[in-house]
Structure 1
Amino acid sequence: MRYFEIRLYTNQIGLEMASGMLLSMGITDFVTENPDDLRDFLDKKNSYEWDYVDESVLNLSNVEPNLTFYLECSEEGQKTMQCFRHALETVKRDAEEAGTDYGRLELSVTEVCDEDWRDKWKEYFKPTHITDRFVVKPSWEDYEKKENSELVIEIDPGMAFGTGTHPTTTLCIRMLEKYIASSDEIVLDVGCGSGILSIAAALLGVKTVKGVEIDPIAVDVAKENVQMNCLESQIEVFQGDLTKGLAVQADIVVANLMADLVMLLSKDVSKHLKGRGIYISSGILVEKKNQVSHSIQNCGFEILEIAEEGEWCAIVAQKR
């Protein structure tokens, strides 16, 4: 299907005006790019809000504020676009008379095909060996095992979740391979996201895996991926918050989050561990490994090992 990609160049005040205009027209799906948002983002109010920022995000500081939305290339879409144009002209005239500055208020209209942007990211997600045994493959790609010992995770993460090939995921799976000792152990995957670590634990033979996630959309994605891998009998995914209490006791807790969240949750993790009490955490920059390690130790754990890959590390601890 073809769409009109409509982009309005304006300023901070103009973004608020244009957003309100679109909402009044019943258009709720639009994207804004605003350098002020980057400044607010970098001036984080909570230390755990982010731990790593891709350099491409910082390019937003040089972007002229703009708003983008899409309309179908149809008669109705053309009428809606024309209506927006007329409303914008009225705003321009009123702004000039009142001396209000909305920036240049210029429109850029491009005709695009939804396949150009909806599925573009899929081109870069191919079957990938993430450990010696594990292969991650997208649902739309074919893959034949090279060896019988290979374990294949089929996953369809959608655009909002990772593909499972990030070093932090690889580190967690390597640690699961190393520390799972029995199929009768229970594994709790905290912040399970797409469910990839839960699926890995089940493929390693664990009969009972619990995946908990605070985001309801992630819960749905994880459940779909569990079903895709035919592991519903071993994995339960549910919405929940570890800090608010869960009726789950596990032999192994795995948490691929970020440094500050790992430190924040470690005390609560301790309450949910039994048996050997293994705690695998990742999403931690190497430069923060000592800080996170000390925090985990202060929550009643002994550090067993720290594994590194590139600028990331995973910390394995055991409850004292």
Structure 2
Amino acid sequence: MDDEWVEISVFTDEGGADIASALLIVIGCSGTSKEADEATGGVVVRGWLPSHENVVELIDWIYERMEVALKWGLTRKQAKINTHIVEQRHWLREWESELKPLMIGRSFLIVPMALKERVDSKLNEGRIIITLSAAGGFGTGHHPTTRMCLELMEEIKDEFIGADVLDVGCGSGILSIAAAKLGARSVLAVDIEESAIKCTMRNAIANGVDEKVRTMLSNLAESVYGRFHIIVSNLVTDLVQKLAMQISMKGLLSDERTAYWIASGIPTQRFDERAWRNELSKLGLQIARVAKEGFWVAFLAVKEVR
């Protein structure tokens, strides 16, 4: 049935929680939740996939990655993984119950759709409010990779005014909506998953920015043409590297003014700053800022006008 989903539960410790959450997102889970596991003294991280998915290989892959994390000392507890079938409304209710309004940086307040009418007015004073339902798309602001993207966007917020923006791997549309509310002239949001495209448009409409935000199915930027003043991307390491080549080969960053690329989703153990700086420099990009939170890295790269 279309409304049946597989719930994947990863039992780990606090050190492995962010890693488990990211791995669940990578395999296509639409949202994750985390709670204490009283039986083991650890935590359980849950994610959800449509029931028609063949999850056996995906679970094996997650287990292998968690074993690597254990080997490197990133977690101290061997992961255990369980699955069972749930109805979509069940996991959405559980996921939404975990969320609370979230302040990010000095500019943003992320509000779950279910709490839209109950936000304390003191919280939203002077902030850009982004209302989200992440059903079918990744990106609630609660994961470090998303938070760092928004914080880096805040650092160059004046550059968004009148800008054309590309959001690669849009997920829930949180970065697209943030760009639009920062004053972008247009935002093209792309994702390989149709569910993410639908989620982005649903959230864009709910936030009143649907006239600015366009969506497109695309494997990274393969189907994208044109030039953009700012590109934002919350991905994984290999896809960030592939996108860097696409940005360079296709000339996706504007030449008419200083252009920016914000990328996130790189584990700290895969970020050799000197190597990344050298490789991006060959593509005409200079890393201006590196952000780190927990096990994750994001960067802001600049393409100067020649």
Q: Give the TM-score normalised by the residue count of structure 2.
A: 0.68
1:142-161 aligned at under 5 Å gives the runs 142-146=118-122, 148-158=125-135, 161=138
Deviation at 1:248, TM superposition (A): 2.7
Q: Does 1:273 align with 2:214?
A: no
Task: Mark the CA change 1:169 to 1:40 in structure 2 (over 3 Å): closer, same or farther.
Answer: closer
SS of corresponding position for 1:253:
strand
Task: Mark the CA change 1:306 to 1:115 in structure 2 (over 3 Å): closer, same or farther.
Answer: closer
Distance 1:41 1:182 in 2: 37
Task: Mark the CA change 1:174 to 1:114 in structure 2 (over 3 Å): closer, same or farther.
Answer: closer
Q: Does 1:177 align with 2:177?
A: no
Match among 282, 285, 301 for residue 264 of structure 2 = 282
Query: Is the CA contact 2:171–2:191 (under 8 Å) kept in the aligned structure 1?
Result: yes
Query: Is the CA contact 1:263–1:295 (under 8 Å) kept in the aligned structure 2?
Result: no
SS of corresponding position for 1:272:
coil
Q: Which has the larger radius of gyration?
A: 1
1:191-210 aligned at under 5 Å gives the runs 191-210=169-188
Match among 272, 283, 288 for residue 299 of structure 1 = 283
Q: Can you list the C-alpha shifts for 1:248-280, whole angstroms capped at 9, x where unaligned?
A: 310111111011110111011232000312111
Superposition RMSD on alpha carbons, in Å? Answer: 3.3
1:103-142 aligned at under 5 Å gives the runs 117-141=91-115, 142=118
The gaps in structure 2 that reach 5 residues or longer are 1-49, 66-73
Q: What amino acid does structure 1 have at the position aligned with 2:112?
A: P
Q: Does 1:221 align with 2:221?
A: no
SS of corresponding position for 1:250:
coil
Distance 1:38 1:114 in 2: 20
Distance 1:217 1:117 in 2: 16
Q: Does 1:167 align with 2:144?
A: yes
1:19 aligned residue: none
Q: Can you list the C-alpha shifts for 1:19-44, whole angstroms capped at 9, x where unaligned?
A: xxxxxxxxx9468875x764456679
1:241 aligned residue: 219
Q: Give the TM-score normalised by the residue count of structure 1.
A: 0.65
Match among 80, 97, 119 for residue 59 of structure 1 = 80
Deviation at 1:144, TM superposition (A): 3.5
SS of corresponding position for 1:273:
coil
Q: What amino acid does structure 1 have at the position aligned with 2:171?
A: G
State the identity as a percent.
28
Task: Mark the CA change 1:230 to 1:317 in structure 2 (over 3 Å): closer, same or farther.
Answer: same
Task: Mark the CA change 1:183 to 1:37 in structure 2 (over 3 Å): closer, same or farther.
Answer: closer
Q: What amino acid does structure 2 have at the position aligned with 1:149?
A: G
Q: Does 1:313 align with 2:293?
A: no
The gaps in structure 1 that reach 5 residues or longer are 1-27, 45-52, 71-112
Query: Is the CA contact 1:250–1:273 (under 8 Å) kept in the aligned structure 2?
Result: yes
Task: Mark the CA change 1:123 to 1:189 in structure 2 (over 3 Å): closer, same or farther.
Answer: same
Task: Mark the CA change 1:127 to 1:56 in structure 2 (over 3 Å): closer, same or farther.
Answer: farther
Q: What amino acid does structure 1 have at the position aligned with 2:80?
A: N
1:251-266 aligned at under 5 Å gives the runs 251-266=229-244
Query: Is the CA contact 1:257–1:281 (under 8 Å) kept in the aligned structure 2?
Result: yes
Q: What amino acid does structure 2 have at the position aligned with 1:143?
A: V
Task: Mark the CA change 1:145 to 1:121 in structure 2 (over 3 Å): closer, same or farther.
Answer: same
Distance 1:42 1:116 in 2: 25
How many residues matched? 240
Query: Is the CA contact 1:38–1:58 (under 8 Å) kept in the aligned structure 2?
Result: no
Distance 1:245 1:115 in 2: 33
